[in-house]
Amino acid sequence: MADALHSKDAAGLRPLIDGFGRRIDYLRVSVTDRCDFRCVYCMSEHMTFLPKADVLSLEEIDRLASAFVRRGVRKLRLTGGEPLVRRGIIDLVRSLSRHLESGAIDELTLTTNGSQLARYAADLAAAGVRRLNVSLDTLDPDRFAHITRWGRLPQVLDGIAAATAAGLHVKINMVALRGINDDEIEAMLRWCGAAGHDLVLIETMPLGEVEEDRTDRYLPLSQVRGDLERRWTLEPIALSTGGPARYVRIRETGQRLGFITPLTHNFCESCNRVRLTATGTLYMCLGQDDAADLRAIIRATESDAALDAALDAAMVRKPKGHDFRIDRRAAAPAVTRHMSLTGG
């Protein structure tokens, strides 16, 4: 590990390697904390959003993301909030796509709720995006309205159709919620299979105060997998998309199904990612509060020397794992900030 920490690439820059020898090659960038939905497990219904002066400009986001690329990051994911509500988002995607053209990164992608995809799917594809994740927890319009509070299902389905028509590969992210959509998982699996979408199931995460008790909604995916295995043949596959999902292939359909299990089986041992918020705060772990203020550095100097030093210091502080748990005895969420602030 010591050799890796001190080795340099062809450009003379050290790769980003944390204190546990994990190479950090995946950056998730929140471009805004704002969203046009208010999903019950993610946000409070009455959110207070960041003042615009606190939010990075698109040029600042580009500079920070590019600094990570210089240090060996191979995958950039734009998140929010809802990234497609950020004014000028396509200009940012076009600018960052130069790293695709140069071969510096392997992938530029984003996670979206799908509400704006009908408008932007073709532009995203033209800018070099090849696949994206769409958060979709139900195919029932009434349930969708309940889960998202403000959302309309037909608008999202039209967006997914537009993305497919533009040649984008769509992966559906479904948060498994006991008592809300747990009876719909197999229907979602069939729908995704028919439409050619991968499906990833996600355990609800204890981030930020919300109106509902997450203890009542937490559904262990070990239980879901056991239920599915009684009807389907789930074959483990060696697929890695750079994120935390563990994949299986359903023998009967050939479809890929992923599980993200931060609570029943955490994925920390192979963590290769960090998160940059819309304010320029770098979180080395989704489930910890330790962070580095990169906005102050880039607003103070045009030199990248101080920025590189801050990235090195942040990697040393990246923890071995998170502290997520859902427990009625816990008086507060494991992390007080909302997922929309950190970046989904």
Which of 6-20, 36-50, 168-182, 327-341 shows the lowest per-residue confidence on average (mean pLDDT)?
327-341
**What angle separates helix 153-165 from helix 117-126, to the nearest 10 degrees?**
20
Q: Is the pLDDT of residue 117 over 90?
A: yes
- Do residues 325 and 334 touch, judged by C-beta distance below 8 A? yes
Q: What is the pLDDT of residue 42?
A: 82
Range in 61-70, 215-224, 316-325 with the lowest mean pLDDT: 316-325
Least confident of 160-169, 241-250, 261-270: 261-270
Dihedral sign for Cα 106, 97, 162, 151, please. Answer: positive
52, with CB counted inside 10 A (0-12, 13-18, 19+), is exposed
Taking phi over 0 as left and psi of -120 to 50 as alpha, with beta for the rest, 178 belongs to beta
Strand partners, 249: 235, 256
pLDDT, tens digit, 9 for 90 and up, residues 28-45: 999 999 999 998 888 878
User: Among 136, 131, 171, which Cα is nearest to 156's?
Assistant: 136
Using an 8 Å Cβ cutoff, are 181 and 147 in contact? yes
Distance CA 77, CA 225 (A): 27
Whether residue 8 is predicted with pLDDT greater than 70 in this model: the reply is: no
Give the H or E element holding residue 209.
Answer: none
Contact 139, 103 (CB under 8 A): no
The residue ranking higher by pLDDT, 117 or 50, is 117
Strands 26-30 and 281-283, bridge-based pairing: unpaired
> Whole-number mean pLDDT of the chain?
87
Q: What percent of the chain has pLDDT over 70?
A: 84
CB atoms within 10 A of CB 44: 15
Q: What angle do CA 294, 292, 76 make, to 5 degrees?
A: 65
pLDDT of residue 267: 63
Give the angle subtended at the CA of 332 by the CAs of 331 and 336, to the nearest 5°: 165
The H or E element spanning position 189 is: helix 185-195
CA pair distance 304, 307, nearest whole angstrom: 5
Task: Compute how many other C-beta atoms are within 10 angstroms of the C-beta atom of residue 104.
Answer: 14
Residue type, 189: L
Check if the beta carbon of residue 323 is closer than 8 Å to that of residue 334: yes
Inform me whether the pLDDT recorded for 81 exceeds 70.
yes
Q: Which domains does the chain have, with CATH numbers?
A: 24-342 (3.20.20.70)
| DSSP-derived pairing of the beta strands 273-276 and 26-30 | parallel
> What is the arithmetic mean of pLDDT over 128-132?
97
Average pLDDT over residues 188-203: 94
Model pTM score: 0.86
Q: State the Cα–Cα distance between residues 334 and 344, nearest whole angstrom.
A: 16
Split at pLDDT 50, 70, 90, the class of 101 is: very high
Q: How confident is the model at residue 48 (pLDDT cuts 50, 70, 90)?
A: confident
To which residue do tokens 């140069």 refer? 102
Quickly state the pLDDT bin for 266 (edges 50, 70, 90): low
Alpha carbon distance 182, 45 (integer Å): 23
* C-alpha span between 253 and 25 (Å, rounded): 32
